[in-house]
Amino acid sequence: MSTKMDATIEAVEKADCWVGGAVVVAEDNGEYNAIPGAYLTDCSYTGSRDVVIDLSYGLSGSTGYGDCDLSDPEQVRQVAELLING
């Protein structure tokens, strides 16, 4: 089971690497998943399209947190908390 925090941390870590940035989607079963933003426009993608966190413009373009040190787990967690708590 992937929590909202786990999925958000993955999205933060991969937002600048994945095509179309990263988004966190809520699944019908209460789980959350981080997926490449490009999946949302792919007709073959059959997963959830219920976006709860949108980093489709990358970390710096979507949030202004581009100076986050992604090698520091504490900084990544802090950014994830800010995104979740809005």
Whether 59 and 39 have beta carbons less than 8 Å apart is answered as no
Q: What is the pLDDT of residue 64?
A: 67
Q: What is the pLDDT of residue 66?
A: 63
Instruction: Kindly report the number of other CB atoms within 10 A of residue 55's CB atom.
Output: 28
Q: What is the pLDDT of residue 67?
A: 74
| Cα–Cα distances in angstroms (integers) from residue 85 to residues 2, 9, 53, in the given order | 18, 13, 11
Q: Tell which residue, 44, 48, 43, has the closest CA to residue 35.
A: 48
pLDDT digits (tens), the chain, 86 positions: 599 999 999 999 999 899 999 999 999 999 999 999 999 999 999 999 999 999 998 887 666 676 778 889 999 999 999 999 98
What is the model's pTM?
0.89
Whether 23 and 35 have beta carbons less than 8 Å apart is answered as yes
